[in-house]
Structure formats: structure tokens, C-alpha cells
Structure 1
Amino acid sequence: MKIMPCPLNGPRNISEFVHGGEVRDMPNPTTCSDKEWAEYVFYSDNQAGVVTEWWLHAASGYWFIAERHTVTDEIIRTYDPSEIFKARVEFSAESTAQEVSA
């Protein structure tokens, strides 16, 4: 059984977690092209070595960051996103409604 060390809930069975993709810089959703946004959402670097990834503990709904070696699948470190993200990204409901109606 593989164990993932959750920063909030402690060591848990890996089956309790969902992979959320690589941590990458998000383009500005109001100024980037559709291609740039699609590349951000759907593509990953898929590199061999240590990557920084989003993980979700499904039972508690807690998102956190893990550093994992993609070749050995070793989990090197897990931590709360507040260690690297200092501000929350807000999306305007008005701009989202305009895009949907267009």
C-alpha cells in the first residue's frame, strides 16, 4: 500500500487522493489567447524528474502541493499552497457571463 503524507490529515492511503496536474504559472484569463488558455489547462510538461504538482485529498476536499519524482514515483515533500501562493485569484462573474453569452 502506498502512503501519501497529507499536510492537513497526515499519512493516508494513496487511494484517497486525486492528482490535479502540475503547478504552473497561470496566464491572465482576461488577456490571453484561447490557445494559451487551452495549453495551460490541457497540456503538461511531462518531464522525467522532480515535479511540483497539485493533489486533492478527496475525503476532506483539501488541495495541497506535492513534490514527486516522476521516474521513481517517490513523494519528496508535501505542503500547503500558502507556502508559495500569497494571493487568491479571483475571476470576475461579469466577464465570465459575457464570454458565455458570446
Structure 2
Amino acid sequence: MQLIHCPWCGPREEVEFHYGGQAHVSYPDQPAELSDQDWAEFVFYRDNPNGPFPERWSHSAGCRRWFNAVRDTRTYRFLATYKIGEPAPPVAGADQEVIV
């Protein structure tokens, strides 16, 4: 069982959390002006890197808050967690830069 560090509750078992997709994806400024193709790209197209990747997670069985995490997609290992609105922290042990 892997432990995930909630920024508010501390380390908890992974079964308490739910994945929420890629972090740092901004809602369109003028949504009424987007074409169907633009909406499809916003909703369905996300990055899929091989390495550190910022994601959104929810502590659904705990404090129920959302937070961001940097996870290595090659190993599934969590490298850092941080509150939404904070910048991604420097990640120790990551052999490539986290793209935000």
C-alpha cells in the first residue's frame, strides 16, 4: 500500500484518494467563443509525459479537499504534494524538469 501525503492531513493510504486529472489546466477565458474542436481539445486532450507530471488529487475519504501532486508516471511514485494555488515545488530525485 502506498502512502500519499495530504497537505492538510499528512500521510494516508492511497485508497483514501481519487485522481482528478492533469493539474494547472486553466478554464478558457472566453468559453462562448470556442469552437467544437477547441472544446474537444480542452476537455479530452491532456499531456502524457514519461516522468514527473503534475496532477490533481482529492482526499475523498479524509478532509475532502483537492490538492496537486507531482507523480512519476514511470514508477507511480509521488514526488511531492502541494496545495492548489501554490507553485509546483522543486522535486528531489526527479531526473527531468516538471512541466507546469
TM-score (structure 1 length as normaliser): 0.73
Aligned residues: 84
Structure with higher Rg: it is 1
Alignment match, 2:38: 36
Alignment match, 1:49: 51
Where does the alignment leave 5 or more consecutive residues of structure 2 unmatched? 88-100
Q: 1:1-102 alignment to 2 at 5 Å? A: 1-23=1-23, 24-28=25-29, 29-59=31-61, 60-84=63-87
Helix, strand or coil at the partner of 2:27: coil
Q: Percent identity?
A: 43
Q: Which has the higher contact order (CA 8 A, sep 6+)?
A: 2
Moved over 4 A (4+): none
Question: 1:45 offset after TM fit, Å?
Answer: 1.6
Where does the alignment leave 5 or more consecutive residues of structure 1 unmatched? 85-102
* Paired letter, 2:37: K
Alignment match, 1:99: none
